[in-house]
Amino acid sequence: MLKIGEFARICQVSTQTLRYYHAEGVLMADKIDPQTGYRYYDAAKIKTFGEIRTLQQAGFTLEEIKVLLSGNEDARAVLLAQKRAELSAERDRINASLILVERLGHRQEILGELSTRDMIETNFEDDPLVIGRWRLIGQVRSQSPDTWGVPKTPTDAVKEEIVCLPGGSRWWNLLWSRGVIYCHYNCPDTILPNEYQLHEIHGERYMTLRWIGNSCLTRGSDSILLLYKQESNRAYTSRESQVHRDRTDFPYVPDPELIGKWETIAFVPSPEHFSPEQPLELSALNHITAIAFYERGMCEQFIRHKENIRTRLLEYTASDVGRFRGYIINHQEESAEGYLLREIDGAKYLFVQHKSGDYFFGGKEPSYYVFKKATET
């Protein structure tokens, strides 16, 4: 749970506004201490606040916003229709608001854009001391070095290593400005700000980082305080900071057995974890739904992004390098994902590595998509 002051800083709003929203029944505090009167908010309310601000920009009153957030789809549809008519009558003056209303049916898309665009400070503020590579020591109780003692293992999924690149540019799913490291999550699509402080102790530099993890949004967990030690103050490039790098200069070798479209049926840690009797469901918001292989080394991935399907054209080649039958090559991302063909109980399955930031920056082994051929050619 976040105190009202911390919640206000994250949302870049005054505590008076939050108290007003609470009094109007638009954004209620999740807990009020009966002894002190302090208000506490679940981190998931960050996205609710973003939606309220978006609806206000579109011209809705607080009373109307309460209806739109109530879950009553019929009332919501009526309000949207009324507002669309009002804005159409004054199109020249409020054209920007009209565009917002036309898109309000795609609530998650708007929230994702709001999180990415508005929750990061517009002006980057440099902090030369934070640039470099940081190694996790553990979880501590407070900012004061006197209380650190022996740091414990974090209770949430956190990064064992962080690299702060010059200019605050993106590393893995992190980017930063003075005093804060932002973390971008895909599911749900949001960016969370994590405040940091630097400490100089006996010539060594440490960083305490108030980590608002994804579990704060999905499970209502509390933020935790992490302690990192600076291993290097070198100004890395993103490429230099990667744990893994892929070779992508493979010569083209045909693989006729691949030709055709393959549909995704599972996502597993390794081919050995796959069983045709119990294929695993894909629970990720964004994932590859199918892949089609064409002649002359071209292939096309079909990727689900929220409610839409987009495609990506890549290359592939058979190869005798390493333990794989061949590789799917993405020259733009400089990745080569190995693939295998296996026959199980008389059926053929295609296993393809999935290499994300966890592999390139986190040093973890990639998981595998499992495909089965949709049609025979």
Domain spans of the chain?
Answer: 2-118, 128-232, 256-373
Residue 56, classed as helix, strand or coil, is helix
Residue whose structure tokens are 């890395």: 236
Do 229 and 132 touch, CB atoms closer than 8 A? no
Q: Which residue has the higher pLDDT, 193 or 217?
A: 193
Determine contact, residues 278/374, Cβ cutoff 8 Å: no
Q: Give residue 17's identity as a one-letter amino acid code.
A: T
For residue 248, give the nearest of 357, 356, 337, 369 by alpha carbon: 337
Mapping DSSP to helix (H, G, I), strand (E, B) and coil, where does residue 358 land? helix
What pLDDT, on the 0 to 100 scale, is given for residue 111?
41
Which parts of the chain are beta strand (E)?
A: 2-3, 31-32, 39-41, 132-140, 161-164, 174-177, 180-186, 189-201, 204-211, 224-232, 260-268, 287-293, 298-305, 308-318, 326-330, 335-344, 347-354, 367-373
Residue 340 burial (10 A CB sphere; 0-12, 13-18, 19+): middle
Cβ atoms of 228 and 247 within 8 Å: the answer is: no
- H/E stretch holding 357 reads helix 357-360
Longest Cα separation, the chain? 73
Q: Is residue 91 pLDDT above 50, yes or no? A: yes
For 164, 174, 195, 196, 197, the CA distances from 238, given in Å and listed in that order, are 9, 11, 22, 21, 23
Whole-number Å distance between alpha carbons of 96 and 9:
27
For residue 103, pLDDT over 50 is answered with no
Q: Report angle CA 32, 36, 38 to the nearest 5 degrees.
A: 40
pLDDT band of residue 58 (cuts 50, 70, 90) is confident
Note the pLDDT tens digit of each residue in 110-120.
344 444 445 45
Q: Whose CA is closest to 211, among 270, 160, 269, 255?
A: 160
- The structure's pTM equals 0.57
CATH dotted code for 256-373:
2.40.128
| Local structure of residue 93 (DSSP, 8 states) | T
Cβ-contact 339, 322 below 8 angstroms:
no
Contact in structure between 319 and 121 (CB atoms under 8 Å): no
Residue 201, SS3 per DSSP: strand
Report the pLDDT value the prediction gives residue 347, as an integer from 0 to 100: 92
Q: How many CB atoms lie within 10 A of CB 317?
A: 17
User: What's the DSSP call for residue 276?
Assistant: T
Half-sphere exposure of 34 (CA within 13 A, CB side): 0
The structural architecture, per CATH, of the domain 2-118 is Orthogonal Bundle (1.10)
**pLDDT, tens digit, 9 for 90 and up, residues 27-49:** 999 999 888 888 999 988 999 99
pLDDT at res. 135: 96
pLDDT in tens, 202-219: 999 999 999 987 677 666
Say if residues 51 and 111 touch (Cβ distance below 8 Å): yes
Q: If we measure between CA atoms, which residue out of 173, 177, 183, 172 comes closest to residue 131?
A: 177
For range 310-329, the mean pLDDT: 92
Residue 72 clears pLDDT 70, i.e. is over it: yes
Percent of the chain with pLDDT over 70: 85
